[in-house]
Structure 1
Amino acid sequence: MKKYVLILLAIMLSPKPANAQNAESQTKEVPLKIAVIGLTHTHVHWIFDSEKRGGFEIVAIVEPNRDLARRYAEQHGYSMNLVYPDSQSMLKAVTPEAVTAFGTIYEHLEVVETFAPLGIHVMVEKPLAVSMEHAQRMAELARTHGIYLLTNYETTWYPSNHLAYRKVVQEGTIGDIRKVVIRDGHRGPKKIGINAEFLDWLTDPMQNGGGALTDFGCYGANLLTWLHQGRRPVSVTALTQQLQAENNPKVEDEAIILVEYPNAVGIIQGSWNWPIGRKDMEIYGLTGAVFADNRNSLRIRMAEGYDGFKEEAFELEERPAPINDPFTYFAGVIRGTIPVAPADLSALENNLVVVEILDAARESASSGQRIYLNQEK
């Protein structure tokens, strides 16, 4: 027996083969080659700013609007030689390892249809798709061709949300979840002055999949699915309104979504009518509550008596690299240094549930009925 233990120790302590060492070196030293598909979603500024920190390299940009591409080139300092009018012309010149989609939500399907068969990984800006029909086709392509298909949300990188998850889900600090209230939004796209290229499709029901319900309801659906460890809800009920018809004539700008779980309820308030922009979350358990007030601030209140409580407040530092940024995270996932669990905020499985919730919310708002989800899936 001692002989076999010694052999095992020798194997464990022996130098790694050259190819393994090279793989580790490549993970650390060779930037991931990323192509940016579309510039009309202004969250695209994020990837240009992030590139300066290393870990990946933008090797191509696909954008047919040359004026828009030139404006951003002047702002971010990239060469117009990187810009191609369409994906096919780009692929003749460059072979990226991954692409990020910053066009309309409707175009996400086309991006996956183009790049998944080539084995090129895809990250889309939230939400995953305009409908379950699109989402299921995208998932099928991703699984068939063995690529990662991730979805990026701003709130994925909030230290407050991750501390909330640890305290509530992993440590059980406030007992079982009974209610989650998530509020996201701002004064509205036109009022905050987004550019014409973004405004044109963000307020279009086909290109965006809706208005505030899609734009900000997706954040709450994503966080709820994460907090419930990937479980699908029992039912969805929604109320939508159009309070700024002059600014958003084609879509709703107010959405309240009630998401029912067997032992809890989620309340998602996605709005283009908040006077002050916000992305915050409240989690209520059996013995206390957690308030993720913003990106870096979190409070925990433990119940005392009828209406008393003991509060602990946290001001949080940013998360460490590479898990503080969507694109270095994407690179780490592809290189195999960061695992992705199905319930994770960026994961395909989580975001299929998100789109299912949004689809049910649209149906509920339209019909005035509570929509029950098929629990056989």
Structure 2
Amino acid sequence: MKTYLITLLCVLLLTQSFAQAPVRVAVAGLSHGHVDWIFNRADKKDIVLVGIYEPDQELADKYAKRYKIDQGLFFRDLIKMLDQAKPEAVSAFGATSEHITVVRACAPRKIHVMVEKPLATTFADAMEIQSLASKNSIHVLTNFETSWYASNQYVNNSVEEGKLGEVRKVMVNDGHQGPKEIGVSKEFLEILTDPEKNGAGALMDFGCYGANLMTWLMKGERPVSVTAVVHQNKPGIYKEVDDEASIILQYPKAQCIIQGSWNWPFSRKDMEVYGDKGYAVAVDATTVRQRLNEKSPEEVLELEPRPEPYADPFSLLASVVSGRLTLDKNDLYGLPINVTAVEILEAAKESAELNKTVFLK
């Protein structure tokens, strides 16, 4: 009996050890301004960094010095890194146009991928990513800051519970003063202002939030039509891309207005959802304004932040890869929502170029 109990205890401890083993993660690219996050979470042990791919030696050296990273972790060849470092997942922090390259390399090796928003610069790339993920049984997640917001979750729950009634109008506002104005790195600025690498300017950089959120609220339903107007308020700074974008998504019984801007006086990421019974406004990550009855005044709710692992994209990635978390088919990180979001963005670019409404096939 004593031997049995000892054996059982060893098995339990070993099982717990494997369950809590950190996920092996590699970084593909250092030019995206959000990459610093992964180097600033030493207090969390859910992932272990096993490799960094960056072809720009000067940029690699800068990060190695800044974060005192072992030079042995750096690779100038993506395939070599994947085959030698053997990550379970890769987090892509290069240009949006390079996401397809990362997935093409990772998918046949059964390596999961997380990219920064949006999923791709073209609908063709988005569909290929989805096909590769399905064929090779890997997860491809898209990280949006607004996915971490408790306020957006509350508003969506209110829609699902019928508190707002049927959704009629949604307004999503995202933007800031402009990437150069807020002081992004020269490498990141070069991506954001390149129509090939970023897909567009503010339309892609901030319009993607609304496309992601509205598709989520509509449970994956695609809009009937997309109408977009873009402009260069600052052509001296943003010569090749738009810095102002307004996108209208029309559904059979709902409309969404997406405002993406590099011209606002300060940063904002908020969403207004109006149903035929009431409305709710996600003011910031943890604040909601709502009015659910015509005879009742508006109320302000202060929410707790989303619990782990939802408040940290790398924790969420680790939870999904390890099998501790199964995402809903309609999840904000998931491929179905984000492939449609890219379809919307491509239609918006076409609408702006043609100066007319584009109807989706």
State if a TM-score over 0.5 links the two structures: yes
Change (3 A) 1:19 1:334: farther
What residue number does 1:283 align with?
Answer: 273
Which among 236, 245, 248 is matched to residue 246 of structure 1?
Answer: 236
**Aligned 1:216-231 pairs, distance under 5 A:** 216-231=206-221
Aligned 8 A contact 1:51 1:57 in 2: no
Counterpart CA distance in 2 for 1:45 and 1:315 is: 29
Greater alpha carbon shift after TM alignment, 230-239 vs 86-95: 86-95
TM-score (norm 2): 0.94
The answer to whether residue 350 in structure 2 is matched with residue 363 in structure 1 is yes
Aligned-residue offset at 1:94: 1.1
Counterpart CA distance in 2 for 1:21 and 1:365 is: 59
Greater alpha carbon shift after TM alignment, 312-321 vs 152-161: 312-321
Aligned-residue offset at 1:215: 0.4
**Aligned 1:1-377 pairs, distance under 5 A:** 25-27=17-19, 29-169=20-160, 171-304=161-294, 309-374=296-361
Aligned length in residues: 354
**Partner SS state of residue 109, structure 1:** helix
Counterpart CA distance in 1 for 2:67 and 2:167 is: 44
CA deviations over 1:59-82 (Å, ceiling 9, x no partner) = 111112222223223333322221
Task: State the AA in 1 paired with 2:32.
Answer: H
Aligned 8 A contact 1:51 1:58 in 2: no
CA deviations over 1:257-280 (Å, ceiling 9, x no partner) = 000111110110011111111100
Change (3 A) 1:19 1:213: farther
Task: State the AA in 1 paired with 2:135.
Answer: T
Aligned 8 A contact 2:82 2:106 in 1: no
Aligned 8 A contact 1:50 1:325 in 2: no
Counterpart CA distance in 1 for 2:155 and 2:116 is: 23
Gaps of 5+ in 1: 1-15
Aligned 8 A contact 1:244 1:253 in 2: yes
Change (3 A) 1:205 1:19: farther
Gaps of 5+ in 2: 1-7
Aligned-residue offset at 1:22: 5.5
Change (3 A) 1:287 1:41: same
Task: State the AA in 1 paired with 2:260.
Answer: G
Aligned 8 A contact 1:50 1:327 in 2: no
Task: State the AA in 2 paired with 1:262.
Answer: P
Counterpart CA distance in 2 for 1:144 and 1:24 is: 31
Counterpart CA distance in 1 for 2:41 and 2:215 is: 27
What residue number does 1:7 align with?
Answer: none
CA deviations over 1:277-335 (Å, ceiling 9, x no partner) = 11001111112111111112111113425xxx422212222211112111111111111
Change (3 A) 1:326 1:297: same
TM-score (norm 1): 0.90
Task: State the AA in 1 paired with 2:176.
Answer: H
Aligned 8 A contact 1:233 1:373 in 2: yes
Task: State the AA in 2 paired with 1:233.
Answer: P
CA deviations over 1:101-138 (Å, ceiling 9, x no partner) = 00000100100111101000011110000001111111
Counterpart CA distance in 2 for 1:243 and 1:359 is: 22
Aligned-residue offset at 1:23: 5.5
Task: State the AA in 1 paired with 2:166.
Answer: D
**Partner SS state of residue 96, structure 2:** coil
User: How much is the aligned-residue C-alpha RMSD, in angstroms?
Assistant: 1.8
Aligned-residue offset at 1:51: 4.9
Task: State the AA in 1 paired with 2:18.
Answer: Q
Counterpart CA distance in 1 for 2:199 and 2:42 is: 30
Counterpart CA distance in 2 for 1:366 and 1:296 is: 37
What residue number does 2:4 align with?
Answer: none
Task: State the AA in 2 paired with 1:116.
Answer: A
Counterpart CA distance in 2 for 1:21 and 1:355 is: 45
Task: State the AA in 2 paired with 1:365.
Answer: A
